[in-house]
A and B are shown apart, each in its own frame.
Chain A
Amino acid sequence: MAGPVKDREAFQRLNFLYQAAHCVLAQDPENQALARFYCHTERTIAKRLVLRRDPSVKRTLCRGCSSLLVPGLTCTQRQRRHRGQRWTVQTCLTCRRSQRFLNDPGHVLWGDRPEAQLGSQAEE
């Protein structure tokens, strides 16, 4: 990969912002605005520098209002059946935007497959 140095700093910064948002939310569950601000900053940085994020991290951020989603606190999670398949529906409580994830025991994420392991190890 060309120029890993700048990217590593940027990734560290993204990581720090994410942890800070969690920390702030843990201290004060009522006050979500600060966590939302940090996640919005994070999203802008990632957009500006075009950085790829792991899907497990992307799923905890709301795409509409960019707040940190914590099931039970900031969002609701429900299991629905639609056309014979099982979906998990996450709804953000602030902007009322829902995300649907297919909940299939046979489906493996691309990042976990052995073909993708080489790529992620080279990045690390």
Chain B
Amino acid sequence: MKSVIYHAFSQKEADELDVQHSGVQQAEAFVRAFLRRSMPHMSRQAREDQLQRKAVVLEYFTRRKRKEKKRKSRGLSARQRRELRLFDIKPEQQSLFLPLHELWKQYIRDLCNGLKPDTQPQMIQAKLLKADLHGAIISVTKSKCPSYVGVTGILLQETKHVFKIVTQEDRLKVIPKLNCVFTVEIDGFVSYIYGSKFQLRSSERSAKKFKAKGTIDL
């Protein structure tokens, strides 16, 4: 019965049906990727051991599971950061962030209720203070460190002291906010951001009221 269902192809049949014998390495790579996808919590070593049918030492999973769930439902801050919330950029990704930039433009247009209201630039500035800048195209105009001047790119992450930007050459640049002047452009409306006053996490920025304090300079 088996020979009726499973029957080795002859060479002619294989050519007719266009069945390609994929190489051994490709098959192995496929299997490894599939296993990695389906069992992400096992380490690579454990997976290799499973493939070679080595004896894997199991721990007391039942106890561990209960302990994990009974811990604090929020927090776990140290562990969270260990999971690398900061990301590793791979090349050829600047083009992937263009739709994000389009989304940002639409959001800002919606926020200002119009393309270019000639009436009040101050209103737009006030709204920009509370707005979110992720996905904007930012360039550095003035800076105390001359190597930063002229860097342009899409803003990916904004943390307390730093902007993370992808440039046109698909490189991830980390630019400190201190002593820098950034330019944001929206629909022909250019505004300057003095980074020294912006030393806040972006989420705190929307909650805080800004006062004009001190000189506005680098």
Give the B-binding residues of A (Cβ under 8 A): 6, 9-10, 12-13, 16-17, 19-20, 23-24, 27-28, 31, 33-34, 36-38, 40-41, 44-45, 48-49, 63-65, 93-98
Contact = CB atoms under 8 A, between A and B. Distances in A.
Contacts, number: 91
Interface string B62-88: 000000110001101000100111111
Contacts of A41: 132, 134, 201-203
B130 A27 contact: no
Chain A to chain B: the 10 pairs with minimum beta-carbon distance, closest first = A33-B87, A44-B203, A27-B96, A16-B107, A48-B207, A45-B203, A13-B132, A41-B203, A34-B87, A23-B100
7 contacts: A10-B206, A24-B100, A28-B93, A34-B87, A34-B157, A41-B202, A64-B73
Provide the main secondary structure of the chain A interface: helix
B146 interface: no
B127 to A, nearest CB: 7
Interface of B: 40-41, 68-69, 73-74, 76, 80, 83-88, 90, 93, 96-97, 99-100, 103-104, 107, 110-111, 127, 130-132, 134-135, 156-157, 201-204, 206-207
